[in-house]
Amino acid sequence: MTRVLVINNDIMVLQTIQRSLENENYQVFVARSSQEGLELAWQTTPDIVILELDMPVMDGFEVCRRLRELSIQSILITSHLRDERSVVRALEMGADDYLRQPVEIPILLAKIRTLMRRNRRQTTGKISVYDDGQLLIDLDSRRVEMRGEPVKLTPTEFRLLAILLRRAGRVVAHEELIREVWGTDKDVGLGSLKLYIHYLRQKIEDRPRKPRYLLAEWGIGYRFREPARNQIPAAVTQLA
C-alpha cells in the first residue's frame, strides 16, 4: 500500500485530503506542524509527502530540504502563494511538483499517480539490499549492520550511502552527490561531502584509510564497490 504523509496546519484541508486519499486505498499519515511532519517522515518512510509551503515556525522550504535528507522519494508542494519565485524555490529545494490551493482532488490524485509511476521507473533494477556476510544495508527498512551489530547513521549519512549503493559500481560525480544529498544549499561544498564520506568510512569500513566499500575516484567522485555476482547468500536483492 502506498504511504502518503500530509503536512498541513489547516485542519479542514488536512481532513479533506486525508479522506480523499483513504477512499483511494492509500495509507495516510497526517501532521499539523512541521516538526510533527518530520518526525512522522522519519518513523514511517512515506512514498510521497504532500507538504503545505506556508507553514508557521518552520516554513515548507526548510521542511522540504530536511525531507530530502531523509531520502523521501517524492515531495508534492501545495500552497496559497502565487508568485513564481516561490514555485521555483520550492522545486530547487527538492520538491517534485507543485499544486496551488485550493487543492482540486482529481488533480491531486493524478499528480500522485504520476509521481508513483516515476518512482517505480527510477527504482526498477536498483539495489535495495546489500549483504556480503559482513556488511548489511537494507534501504527499505533503513537498516545497516556490521557483523550483525547495528550501525547508527544520521539521515544525511544514510542518504549519501543510499545514493552510492543504488549506483553500485558506477562513479558518482562530486557535484551530483552534493546536489542529491543537500540540494541547492550554497553553504555545502566538496569539503562537506568529503567529511561525510569520512564519517561513513569510520562506521562501515574495517580500515577506513584503505576502504573496501566506499571508493574514491580522485578528482571525479565516489563509488560503492560493485557487488560480486557469485556471493552466497545472494548479496544483492533487486526491487521488483
pLDDT at residue 203, rounded to an integer: 95
Of 123, 150, 169, which closes a domain? 123
- 83 with 161, same domain: the answer is no
- Cell numbers 557469485 correspond to 230
pLDDT tens column, 3-41: 999 999 999 999 999 999 999 999 999 999 999 999 999
pLDDT at residue 30, rounded to an integer: 96
- Whole-angstrom distance, CA of residue 131 vs CA of residue 137: 7
pLDDT at residue 235, rounded to an integer: 33
Residue 67: phi, psi to the nearest 5? Answer: -65, -35
pLDDT at residue 59, rounded to an integer: 86
- 9 with 113, same domain: the answer is yes
Instruction: Count the domains in the chain.
Output: 2
CATH of the domain at 227: 1.10.10.10
pLDDT tens digits in sequence order for the chain, 240 residues long: 789 999 999 999 999 999 999 999 999 999 999 999 999 998 888 889 999 988 888 888 889 888 877 778 789 998 877 666 777 777 777 788 888 888 899 999 998 988 887 766 555 455 678 888 899 999 888 899 999 999 999 888 998 999 899 888 788 888 888 888 877 655 678 888 999 999 999 999 999 999 999 999 888 889 998 765 444 333 333 332
- Mapping DSSP to helix (H, G, I), strand (E, B) and coil, where does residue 215 land? strand
- 170 with 73, same domain: the answer is no
Q: Please tell me the pTM assigned to this model.
A: 0.55
pLDDT at residue 195, rounded to an integer: 93
pLDDT at residue 194, rounded to an integer: 93
- 91 with 143, same domain: the answer is no
CATH of the domain at 95: 3.40.50.2300
- 72 with 142, same domain: the answer is no
Residue 110: phi, psi to the nearest 5? Answer: -65, -40
Residue 171: phi, psi to the nearest 5? Answer: -75, 130
pLDDT at residue 122, rounded to an integer: 55
Secondary element (H or E) of residue 140: none
Determine whether 37 is exposed, middle or buried from the number of CB atoms within 10 Å of its CB (0-12, 13-18, 19+).
buried
pLDDT at residue 221, rounded to an integer: 87
Domain that holds residue 31: 3-123
